[in-house]
Copies of this chain bind each other. A is one copy, B any other.
Amino acid sequence: ASTLALGDKPQEEEKREENVGDVKNGGPSIGGGGDGKNSKAVASYWGVEPPKLVKEDGTEWKWSCFRPWEAYKADTSIDLKKHHVPETFLDKLAYYTVKSLRWPTDVFFQRRYGCRAMMLETVAAVPGMVGGMLLHCKSLRRFEHSGGWIKTLLEEAENERMHLMTFMEVAKPRWYERALVITVQGVFFNAYFLAYLVSPKLAHRVVGYLEEEAIHSYTEFLKELDNGNIKNVQAPAIAIDYWQLPKDATLRDVVVVVRADEAHHRDVNHFASDIHYQGLQLKDAAAPIGYH
């Protein structure tokens, strides 16, 4: 249902008209009409038509939001209990900030873990993007190598967005939830942006603790699936392709791999904070790339 292949979207006649002058600029004239034909012609004029991709079993690759080579197997053997004991003032600030956010979240979502996962993943995908973007700009401004951290943080953001794309298939957002996400993103993006400018040490620690809470929530989610309070439905197709799960995988399998991802993010972000605690910058320690 959510495939977005080229030409999927029906185009109205008047929209196509509007574009004629544009396409004829030195490009080949466009013959037949029909849904999506026009955008295909434009793409091939610019020589950037996306390649037809196939899955391992030879069937067509359904997704344009990620590619076969971005699929991976999550490391479910990762230690889920690891915890950074807060000792310094900044650590405690990070820890209690996260803990104080837990209570209103619990009240709002109660035991609707599918909905909770979907909503929180819209927030979880922000820090990696903000951090990656700021490090990118810094690398350019200072003519400095990045140590791979830009990529690591952007990959985290990408991974969190795939979590969202997955949980979207399980829980559909209602209008007031959509409104809430817009507000929360506006506040959180700017808060994290400022926090990262002022103290990346604190910012990464906060994410480390957020991920610890995420592991906890996904463990609760699993309990609810196991005791039958939440129905263990079929895994969404996108999740099966993204985490290379077996065809008969269930929601439970998806929650297990997502939780492993969160544990990986926890480690990366606590590690990033630790590097700053050592008086170093992230670029001074090669980044952990290649998990996703």
Contact = CB atoms under 8 A, between A and B. Distances in A.
Interface of A: 2, 4-9, 11-12, 15-16, 18-19, 21-23, 25-26, 38-39, 42-43, 46-51, 63-67, 78-79, 82-85, 87-88, 91, 118, 122, 125-126, 129, 133, 136-137, 139-143, 145-148, 150-151, 154, 157-158, 161, 164-165, 168, 173, 178, 181-182, 185, 189, 264, 267-268, 270-271, 274-275, 277-280, 283-290
Nearest to A183: B141
A50 B140 contact: no
A182 to B, nearest CB: 5
B286 A50 contact: yes
B148 A26 contact: no
A278 to B, nearest CB: 5
A145 B84 contact: no
21 contacts: A4-B284, A11-B278, A18-B279, A22-B88, A22-B91, A25-B84, A25-B87, A26-B82, A39-B275, A42-B271, A42-B278, A43-B288, A46-B268, A46-B270, A48-B268, A49-B288, A50-B287, A64-B147, A64-B286, A133-B133, A143-B164
